[in-house]
Amino acid sequence: MSSTTREWQALDRAHYLHPFTDHQALGEEGSRVITRAEGVYIHDSEGRRLLDGMAGLWCVNLGYGRRELAEVAAEQLRELPYYNSFFKTTHPPAVRLAEKLCALAPDHVNRVFFTGSGSEANDTALRMVRHYWALKGKPRKQVVIARDNAYHGSTVAGMSLGGMAPMQGQGGPGVPGIVHVPQPYWFGEGRERTPAAFGRECAAALEAKILELGEENVAAFIAEPVQGAGGAIIPPDSYWPEVRAVLARYDILLVVDEVICGFGRLGEWFGSQHYGLQPDLMPIAKGLSSGYLPIGGVLVSDRVAETLIEAGGEFFHGFTYSGHPVCAAVALKNLELLEAEGVVERVRDDLGPYLAERWTRLATHPLVGEARSLGLIGALELVADKASGRRFDKALAVGNLCRDLSLEAGLVMRSVGDTLIISPPLVITRDQIDELVTRARRALDEAARRLTAVDHG
């Protein structure tokens, strides 16, 4: 290891508290130092080039190193680096971005509230749905139904809406009035049934929860089209149509968290469009700027926006960086490039089906119980026994082993327990998809070799 890498690691260890990191373990191993990136590749301080199978944190949809985004940012920094949009003020970048977003969003969505991140977007959505019902004269409609193992961010509201037990075990209690229903994770929780039956069962659990709480107390249901951080969980085909049918029977708002699925990940501009959903609110972030600058927001349907505007007076909510001009200018350019280059259509018509064909071939690997993908999100379920789907002993941490071996093979994948995940930049080529799958297979082969060695003592 070079002395510069060692210096970075020492300073990092001494001063930098990282998000989602066990610092004891990090102290022993030392951080990987990423210094630059282009296209779908990142480079570390040791001069190694890795294929970024995660698009950073599911966000670099347009790939790294786009000069157009850097130039727009520089121009905007010179023109107007900051101004807010509180108190009856606005500025051109935020207005233009709002117009563009609403043109891309479903027809019944014509307004956007800007935030700095996906977590803030979900905080905003929570306050908005409760405020909406209060304005409608139904202040008891307060409860938000979310799903087990959901991820909606790290702020207090984000963590409370999320369904991740380890997060909720720290720094709570969370926000009251949030309950959870089962997630449509067929491989993990429903394999004794057919996927179709399991999808219907999860939708029925939502309906049972609404009835248990009383419709008059329920404000909204929040969900991601495909769960990302929970494990790239693609619901059974029956799930969303059944959930749609359930929601049609009750007067409850639907919040579709598009933070990962938005901006082309599933081959449509929004995951809602892939599943034919009519959300009342859509939290967005990540791919909105391809991660180049921090920006998020909530797309607001006419139904909610009109009530807020006509009956709401002032909504006492907003962030210093809501609609930040430089972030907005970069986000707008990002959307224009995604559109001009046909990136979303290519994911739908070419790259998504191509990845599905190559990725599902990994299902024949002895360690893989299921290989699934949709658009450019995919997962591998690692198993000790293919026939029964039995998992490895948790102590072996096979997911982390495969993730580390994948890095050695030159590919960034993420592990969630014993599920491996990919979500590459949407500008990946077919050849690079082949390279990604080859490297993933190499990691699996090496893991299988090591695990067999463990088995045989």
Of the candidates 229, 376, 426, 433, which one interacts with ligand PMP according to CB under 6 A? 229
Of the candidates 123, 201, 242, 257, which one interacts with ligand PMP according to CB under 6 A? 257
SS3 428: coil
* Contact stretch for ligand PMP (CB under 6 A) within 44-52, 140-148, 252-260, 308-316: 252-260
Minimum CB–partner distance for residue 40 and ligand PMP (Å): 20
Does residue 285 belong to the site contacting ligand PMP (CB under 6 A)? yes
Minimum CB–partner distance for residue 227 and ligand PMP (Å): 8
* Contact stretch for ligand PMP (CB under 6 A) within 34-42, 115-123, 168-176, 234-242: 115-123
Q: Which is nearer to ligand PMP, 152 or 439 (CB)?
A: 152
Q: Which is nearer to ligand PMP, 153 or 369 (CB)?
A: 153
Q: Which residues contact 380 (CB under 8 A, 6 or more apart)?
A: 362, 368, 370, 371, 419, 420, 440, 444
Taking the CA atoms of 329, 333, 334 and 336 in sequence, report the sign of the dihedral they define.
positive
Q: Which residues of 220-233 are buried (b: 16+ CB within 10 A; e: fewer)?
A: bbbbbbbbbbbbbb
Of the candidates 253, 256, 259, 444, which one interacts with ligand PMP according to CB under 6 A? 259
Q: How many residues bind ligand PMP (CB under 6 A)?
A: 16
Minimum CB–partner distance for residue 228 and ligand PMP (Å): 5
x/- letters, 208..227, toward ligand PMP (CB under 6 A)? ----------------x---
- At 300, which amino acid appears? V
Distance CA 208, CA 189 (A): 19
Pairing of strands 49-52, 411-412: parallel
Q: What backbone torsions phi and psi does residue 287 show, to the nearest 5 degrees?
A: -60, -15
x/- letters, 339..378, toward ligand PMP (CB under 6 A)? ----------------------------------------
Distance CA 351, CA 346 (A): 6
Minimum CB–partner distance for residue 230 and ligand PMP (Å): 9
Closest CA to 190 of 181, 201, 203: 201
Does residue 421 belong to the site contacting ligand PMP (CB under 6 A)? no
Distance CA 305, CA 259 (A): 20
Does residue 123 belong to the site contacting ligand PMP (CB under 6 A)? no
For the chain, the straight-line distance linking the first and the last C-alpha, in angstroms and rounded, comes to 32
Element (H, E) at 189: helix 186-189
Does residue 128 belong to the site contacting ligand PMP (CB under 6 A)? no
Q: Which is nearer to ligand PMP, 260 or 409 (CB)?
A: 260
Residue 263 contacts residue 227 (beta carbons within 8 Å)? no
Shortest Cβ contact with ligand PMP: which residue? 118
Q: Which is nearer to ligand PMP, 151 or 392 (CB)?
A: 151
Does residue 260 belong to the site contacting ligand PMP (CB under 6 A)? yes
Residues 133-192 that bind ligand PMP (CB under 6 A): 151-153
Does residue 118 belong to the site contacting ligand PMP (CB under 6 A)? yes
Residue 296 contacts residue 101 (beta carbons within 8 Å)? no
Residue 250 contacts residue 244 (beta carbons within 8 Å)? no
> Which residue ranges make up the site for ligand PMP (CB under 6 A)?
57, 117-119, 122, 151-153, 224, 228-229, 257, 259-260, 285, 296
